[in-house]
Amino acid sequence: MRWMITGAGGMVGHDLVSALRETDDVRAFDRADLDITDEPAVTAALRGAKPDVIVNCAAYTRVDEAENNEALATAVNGEGVRLLARAADEAGSLLVHLSTDFVFDGRKRQPYEITDAVGPLSAYGRSKLLGERHALTARRHLVVRTAWLFGLHGPNFVEAIRNQVMKGNKELRVVNDQRGRPTYTPHLARAIVRASRLAHADPEMAGIIHYADRPECSWFDFAAAIVEELGLGDVTVSPVSTAAFPRPAPRPAYSVLSTERYEKITGMATEEWRPGLREYLAKRA
């Protein structure tokens, strides 16, 4: 199969290219190679790559900055996806689009299903929801929602905690009233490849799926696990409320994603984030 990856320089894109390169023909485009808001460039890239599958990992991900730059977030996360969907139809390609738990309002206390009502709280969430809607207009499409990503090729929560303790900070305060499912990007990359192959072969697999590692936890739980895996018995992690750390963009308090459809169509359980955390830290050592 021929694959085209946009946003190939980011966490997910980099790991996706690595997962595919040994077995498939991959055309990787980072931000410098392809601006997905540039319609002629998008059209030319697809005509040149002739992909069976396009995986869109390109995104504006500065969640807090998006509150003051919603037009830019919307251009990349929304309009850019519309252009990709149109070009995918012209090329006869499957469009796989990466989305987020931020499309939900976080008021549930049970895992979000793909059929649950959306209600983004932030500019970033609104822009990603618009991108989903554009992706779903492509004749052949798959939207993959995910959450709480950490990987070696981009800023993430694990690195933020690691940096704090490497600087000598012995007392960490981390929010305990937001819950989700941390996801190691190599695990996500494998899941995307698996689901995309199925969706390419069978149109019935189209639509939306959720992928996140298991189990669910709070940010406090995740931070405590990071400190434990680092073997830092002299570092304490204390739980605090979201109100103690006000941010420009509101976060969903509960954004646990149900991965039932992914597991049903692939026949595979999701991976666990704790082994992914160990691998990440070993590679960062």
Residue corresponding to tokens 């960062």: 284
The reported pLDDT for the residue numbered 29 is 97
Active site residue 254: no
CA–chain centroid gap for 281, Å, is: 20
The pLDDT value recorded for residue 128 is 98
Amino acid at 89: D
Active-site position among 124, 184, 211, 254: 124
CB 46 within 8 A of CB 4: yes
- At residue 200 the predicted structure's pLDDT band, cuts being 50, 70 and 90, is very high
Indicate the pLDDT class of residue 203, thresholds 50, 70 and 90: confident
pLDDT tens readout for residues 143-188: 999 999 999 999 999 999 999 999 999 999 999 999 999 999 999 9
Which 3-state string (H, E, C) describes 203-254?
HHHCEEEECCCECCEEHHHHHHHHHHHHCCCCCEEEEECHHHCCCCCCCCCE
Distance CA 35, CA 138 (A): 19
Q: What is the mean pLDDT of the chain?
A: 96
Q: Where are the domains of the chain?
A: 2-147+182-214+256-271
Count the Cβ atoms, other than its own, within 10 Å of residue 211. Answer: 26
pLDDT tens digit sequence for 34-72: 999 999 999 999 999 999 999 999 999 999 999 999 999
CATH code that applies to domain 2-147+182-214+256-271: 3.40.50.720
Q: Is the pLDDT of residue 233 over 90?
A: no
Distance, CA of 137 to CA of 257 (rounded, Å): 23
What gap in Å lies between CA 243 and CA 9, rounded to an integer? Answer: 34
The verdict on pTM exceeding 0.85 is yes
β-sheet bridge partners, residue 95:
54, 141
Summarize pLDDT for 253-269 with one digit per residue, the tens: 999 999 999 999 999 99
Task: Note the pLDDT of residue 228.
Answer: 96
pLDDT of 285 above 90: no
* Res 122 pLDDT > 90: yes
pLDDT of residue 229: 96
Q: What pLDDT, in 10s, does the model give residues 93-116?
A: 999 999 999 999 999 999 999 999
Q: According to the 3-state scheme, what is the secondary structure of 121-155?
A: CCHHHHHHHHHHHHHCCCCCEEEEEECCEECCCCC
Residues linked to residue 4 through DSSP beta bridges, in sequence order:
27, 54
Whose CA is closest to 164, among 220, 223, 225, 248? 223
Place of tokens 């206390």: 109
| 131 pLDDT higher than 90 | yes
pLDDT at 170: 94
Q: What is the pLDDT of residue 118?
A: 98
Cα-flanking dihedrals φ and ψ of residue 172, to 5°?
Answer: -110, 140
How many C-beta atoms surround the C-beta of residue 143 within 10 A? Answer: 24
Predicted local distance difference test score (pLDDT) of residue 204 = 87
Burial 18-50 (b: 16+ CB within 10 A, else e): ebbeeeeebbbbbeeebbbbeeeebeebbeebe
